[in-house]
Amino acid sequence: MGEVTRGSLFPTSAAPERGERVEPIVSSHGVVVEHILSGRLDVPVDFLQGHDEWVVVLDGEAQIEMEGEAMSLKAGDWVSIPAGVPHRVVKTERATSWLAVHLPPSPG
C-alpha cells in the first residue's frame, strides 16, 4: 500500500521573472505530475520528449506551436502532446501556472 501524501501548489507570486520553475508533485508507475511556474521567455523553447504529456494552464496565458499550428492557451485550456511530437513554447505571461502530466508513450 502506498503512503498518503499532500501539499500545496506554489502561488503564482513564486514564479521566476524569467524562465521556469518546475516542481515535481508525484511520481508513480511511470506517470509524473509537475507544477510549472513560468516567467517571461527571452526566446522560444523547443521540446521533443520521449513521453506523452498532458498540460493544463491553471492561471495566466501562453502561446505554443505544435505541428505548424499556433495555439494560445489561457486558464482552463489544456493540450495533449504525444511522445515524439516537436513543440515549442513561444511566449508565456509572467506567473503562468501549469500542471503537467507525463505518461509513458501510447503503444503504436
- Which segments in the chain show pLDDT lower than 50? none
* Ordered domains of the chain (ranges, CATH): 22-103 (2.60.120.10)
Q: Percent of the chain scored above 90 by pLDDT?
A: 90
pLDDT of residue 1: 66
Give the integer Cα–Cα distance in Å for 96 and 12: 7
The alpha carbon dihedral of 12, 15, 17, 18 has a sign of negative
Residue-averaged pLDDT of the chain? 94
pLDDT of residue 63: 97
Give the integer Cα–Cα distance in Å for 44 and 31: 26
pLDDT of residue 105: 84
